[in-house]
Amino acid sequence: MENDVLRKTEKLKGIISLEFQQGKTLDEFCEQNFANFSRERFEAIAIRLYYGKETIVTLYALDKGRQETSSANFCKLPVKKFKSTTIPLDKVLPYITEFNFTLSTGKYPLDEIEVINK
């Protein structure tokens, strides 16, 4: 039983904000790092960065052509997923001025806390 406690890891979840360097854009990053991405055809709408056993950068991009012609489901956006395991972290960081994040244990909602030591 003691070994089970030692192997258990704590997981925190949260939200992150990121600001690009002046003159650099998400589209520019995507064009340089994802094959077949072009800002004429796609609009980058979300990016995910996983860092652990490997680094995985995943881009979700709106397919502009399919959005205009798709009548299948008006409530959903036609998004292409681009995934790369070959982008090293040192190619991502030069695009970033700053990032800010808060992680929580999930036990209490962050929007319900009150800081009392002001």
Q: Where exactly are the structural domains of the chain?
A: 21-99
Q: Which residues pair with 82 in a beta bridge?
A: 59
Give the tokens for residue 112: 């319900």
- 86 contact partners, CB below 8 Å, separation of at least 6: none
Tell me which H or E stretch contains 99.
strand 96-104
Angstrom distance (rounded) from CA 95 to CA 33: 12
For 23-82, the pLDDT digits (tens) are 999 999 999 999 999 999 999 999 998 888 888 999 999 998 877 665 555 678 889 999
Amino acid at 47: I
Is 114 a residue whose pLDDT tops 90? no
